């Protein structure tokens, strides 16, 4: 009953790869954004605008985001057309395309816990480290990172878990190409459409248990650091 088809396995692989890459990219991108939002000295208006922009994916229907990305990255869009002119392929219906979409879509889930952690940290520890001779990168790796690890763990988990649950954006931008853009949530939808409830159930239950297990482990770890809670 728990036999998975090659298509199922391919979808699992694409999904995990997408979630892993998204998380790694987000940690790199979200950290400076979150630091700037928490401690930056930009005028209040600029900061508020960036904050709102980062939070947009929380409220927009995924189809809206997917639609604009399709326009932007597709063969006729500014980004897609430029790539075509350079002799490359446009990004609609590709893994790279849904990776970009997924990074944007999960951005608030990585930025917000980090911003919270950095706000709790304040400027003082970095000021002290600076006075002790540590340069910017040195300060990040020896002070900010260890003192905000709870925030980083939560940010990574939420980004990862949220990517697992992506559906609308990928449906708009990626279609359902097996091995390329067909992720688990899409495949489950396809199984159900084809009235193959048994297959849909196998994958759904597996995803449910996996998601719960990941969240459980992370929150258990995070309790030990008692820093950031969501």
Partner 1 sequence: MTETLRIKARLERAGFTLDVDTAFPLDGVTALFGRSGCGKTTLLRIIAGLEHPPGAELHFGDTAWQSGKTFVPLHRRRVGLVFQESTLLPHLSVRGNLLYGYKRTPEPLRRLHLDEVADLLGITELLGRRADQLSGGQRQRVALGRALLTSPDQLLLDEPLNALDTQTKREIMPFLARLSDKTGIPTLLVTHAPEEVERLAHRVAFMHDGQLERLEPLRDALARADSPLFRDEGAVSVLQGELGPADAHGLHPFGPPEARYRVPSTPGAANGAGRPARLRIDARDVSIALSPPQDVSILNIIPVTIESLDEAPGHHGPARVLAVCRQDDGQTLMAELTQLSTERLGLRPGIRVHALVKSIALLD
Residues that bind partner 1 (CB under 8 A): 124-125, 127-135, 138, 142-143, 146-147
Q: What minimum distance in Å lies between the beta carbon of 136 and partner 1? A: 8
By C-beta, is 78 or 122 nearer to partner 1? Answer: 122
Q: Which is nearer to partner 1, 36 or 68 (CB)?
A: 36
CB of 53 to partner 1, least distance (A): 28
Smallest distance, partner 1 to C-beta of residue 140, A: 13
Smallest gap from Cβ 135 to partner 1, in A, equals 6
**Hunting for tokens 């849909």 — which residue is that?**
200
CB atoms within 10 A of CB 19: 23
Query: Shortest distance, CB of residue 122 to partner 1, whole angstroms?
Result: 10
Q: How far, in Å, are 21, 46, 66 from residue 50 at the CA level?
A: 24, 6, 21
88 vs 128 by CB, closer to partner 1? 128
CB-wise, 87 or 133, nearer to partner 1?
133
Residue (6 or 135) nearer to partner 1, CB: 135
We find the least distance from the C-beta atom of residue 139 to partner 1, in angstroms, to be 8
Phi/psi of residue 182, nearest 5 degrees: -85, 100
Q: Which is nearer to partner 1, 99 or 121 (CB)?
A: 121
């Amino acid at each position: 009953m728990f036999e998975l088809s090659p298509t199922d396995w391919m979808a699992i692989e694409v999904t995990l790869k997408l979630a892993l890459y998204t998380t790694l990219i987000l940690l790199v991108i979200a950290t400076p954004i979150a630091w700037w939002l928490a401690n930056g000295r930009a005028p209040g208006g600029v900061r508020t605008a960036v904050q709102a922009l980062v939070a947009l994916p929380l409220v927009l229907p995924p189809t809206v985001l997917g639609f604009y990305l399709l326009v932007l990255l597709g063969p006729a869009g500014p980004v897609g057309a430029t790539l075509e002119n350079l002799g490359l392929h446009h990004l609609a219906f590709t893994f790279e395309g849904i990776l970009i979409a997924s990074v944007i879509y999960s951005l608030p889930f990585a930025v917000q816990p980090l911003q919270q952690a950095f706000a709790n940290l304040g400027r003082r520890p970095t000021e002290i480290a600076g006075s002790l001779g540590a340069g910017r990168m040195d300060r990040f790796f020896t002070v900010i990172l260890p003192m905000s690890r709870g925030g980083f763990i939560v940010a990574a988990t939420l980004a990862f878990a949220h990517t697992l649950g992506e559906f609308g954006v990928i449906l708009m931008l990626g279609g359902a190409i097996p091995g390329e853009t067909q992720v688990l949530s899409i495949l489950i939808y396809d199984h159900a459409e084809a009235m193959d409830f048994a297959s849909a159930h196998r994958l759904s239950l597996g995803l449910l248990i996996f998601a719960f297990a990941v969240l459980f482990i992370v929150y258990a770890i995070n309790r030990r650091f008692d820093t950031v809670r969501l």
